Structure 1
Amino acid sequence: MDFDTVTEFLQVQGTGFAINLIAAIAIFVVGRWIAKLLHQLTVKAMKRAETDPLIVTFIGNIFYVVLMFAVVLAAISQIGIQTTSLIAVIGAAGLAVGLALQGALANFAAGVMVVLFRPYKVGDYVEAGGVSGTVDEVQTFNTELNTPDNRRIIVPNGQMLSGAITNYSTHATRRVDLVVGVSYDDDIDTVRRVLESVVADDSRVLEDPAPNIRISALNDSSVDWIVRPWVTAADYWDVYWGMTEEIKRRFDREGIRIPFPQQDMHVYHHGNQGDIDRQSATAE
């Protein structure tokens, strides 16, 4: 084979490869645009169907990843690489990577569990994985929370499901638990009347279930009362803080005392009778 033949062969092959490369790039660009479009349409369709936002985000992310994987395979195939062999190599590599990234796979599996069993949803205030906050988004591997003081907490899904989950938003109503200590000298009927008046005057307190006001304990320096009204979940903290303040105002007005912790101390002097007599004589 002479030089001209080799040059002509390389030119033909190079031209063909360049055309295939341009086509592969075009497939990737157009495919990516189509993937984004399908992702957006899918998300909008699920939102129109009033699907839970948690499921919308999770399924949307997975759907987009699958589409992009198909686009990349199509682009690689256009260049001339055998995708069957490539998939086999990726599968073998994926097994090794999976063993190395067991934590990530566990987080993915936990995300699937969250979507299936829904222990919480977007907008719920939860306590899980050692943190607490309002669920903002559930992603493929992480759950994102917003705290009341406007901090962003990103928690692995596996950590969220590793222990007990307290969901404060599941039920429409919550019980406010207040403990109020009063002096032993205060009249029980007067204290009960004041506490019942504070609860009855708050329009946010629900009539059903009925509030519970009882003496709960006789402590060393105080008589402890429990005040347990029921409110809507959205009013919980406003009622908690407002009622605590109002109880203090009413107690001040009625002369009901909230005692400080106190103890009686008895001092014994251990000495002989002569020392005691000398001390008595000195005192006289």
Structure 2
Amino acid sequence: MDFAKLYNSVSLWLQANWGVILKYLIFLIVGFYLSAKVSKVVASIMKKRNVDPAVINLVRKLVYYTLIFVVLLSVLTGLGFNINSLLALIGAVGLGIGLALKDSLSQIASGIQLVIFRPFTIGDFIDLGSASGIVQDIGFFYTTLKTLDNKVITVPNNVITTSSIVNFTKEKIRRVDATFGIGYSDDIKKAKKIMLDVASKNEKILKEPKTEVFVIELGDSSVNLELRAWVDPADYWDVYFYLLENVKIEFDKNGISIPFPQMDVHLDGGLSK
């Protein structure tokens, strides 16, 4: 290739068309600016109408990149490029990229599914089996979670859509189950009353549905009682830890034992001297 000729040709073309180039450069800059502004306006309108934040985020990005694409096509058309040939080239390149990045496209499709079907939204606490945390962002490729100990987990969207999703905050109330084992010689009714009294002193525990205690198992070394109380999802762990600590304290005060695993060894014939 003769680079000197190519350079001369490009130089002559730029000299002959610098006015047009300047015009479309300004058009390009203004187009990029307006694309960003329009996408923000759309997001603002959706926010005022209480649309789900995940939907707002997805629509904002779709509007922005669609407008950018239109601006670029307009500029190329104005500069004399053959758009039909360009679109055919984009299609061919897109096909090749699609085959090479099929996993990424799967993540995008999964992200759209998450926004449409809404198994969770931003702010929900979810468990995916392999990861759990509060949803921070739902993107095209990944969903970001923040764990209770302040770690950030990034999960591919196609992993989420093929996993079982447990949403702990989708409902307005959540049940706390706290299990305690007492000795077989202890008074079951007395233990149940103590547990209910402890629960009644916590203002975060809802009055309705009412708090209940059941015998759920006759274990190898203990009678297992389960206290079931209903709370706001945000109060779950505070109430759970409160019950564990305070029921134990009250059991100790009232002589209710909590058995622990132990082994009794019996020697046949006594000890040899």
**TM-score after normalising by structure 2:** 0.90
Q: Secondary structure at the match of 1:177?
A: strand
Contact 1:62 1:140 in 2 (8 A): no
Q: Secondary structure at the match of 2:51?
A: coil
Q: Decide which structure has the larger Cα Rg and report it.
A: 1
User: What are the equivalent positions in structure 2 for 1:188-207 lying under 5 Å apart?
Assistant: 188-207=188-207
Q: Distance in 2 between matches of 1:20 and 1:92?
A: 29
Q: Which amino acid letter does the alignment assign opposite residue 73 of structure 1? A: L
Aligned position for 2:73: 73
Moved more, 99-108 or 254-263: 254-263
Contact 2:196 2:212 in 1 (8 A): no
Contact 1:129 1:162 in 2 (8 A): no
Q: Secondary structure at the match of 1:229?
A: strand
Render the CA deviation track for 1:24-47: whole Å, top value 9, x for unaligned.
322221110010111111111111
Contact 1:27 1:75 in 2 (8 A): yes
CA gap of 1:10–1:231, structure 2 versus 1, over 3 A, is closer
Render the CA deviation track for 1:171-211: whole Å, top value 9, x for unaligned.
01111011101122222222122112112222222232222
Q: Distance in 2 between matches of 1:73 and 1:90?
A: 11
Render the CA deviation track for 1:7-57: whole Å, top value 9, x for unaligned.
xx9987442332333233222211100101111111111111111111000
Q: Distance in 2 between matches of 1:231 and 1:178?
A: 13
Gap runs ≥5 in structure 1: 1-8, 270-275
Q: Which amino acid letter does the alignment assign opposite residue 80 of structure 1? A: G
Moved more, 41-50 or 129-138: 129-138
Aligned position for 2:152: 152
Contact 1:53 1:122 in 2 (8 A): yes
Contact 1:209 1:230 in 2 (8 A): yes
Q: Secondary structure at the match of 2:75?
A: helix
Render the CA deviation track for 1:101-154: whole Å, top value 9, x for unaligned.
111111111111111111111111111262111111211222122222222222
Aligned position for 1:142: 142
Contact 1:176 1:231 in 2 (8 A): yes
Contact 2:107 2:156 in 1 (8 A): yes
Deviation at 1:79, TM superposition (A): 2.5
Deviation at 1:252, TM superposition (A): 1.5
Q: Distance in 2 between matches of 1:129 and 1:109?
A: 22
Aligned position for 2:37: 37
Matched residues, number: 265
Contact 1:27 1:74 in 2 (8 A): no
Aligned position for 1:185: 185
CA gap of 1:13–1:244, structure 2 versus 1, over 3 A, is closer
**TM-score after normalising by structure 1:** 0.87
Q: Secondary structure at the match of 2:209?
A: coil
Moved more, 121-130 or 53-62: 121-130
Q: Distance in 1 between matches of 2:111 and 2:165?
A: 14
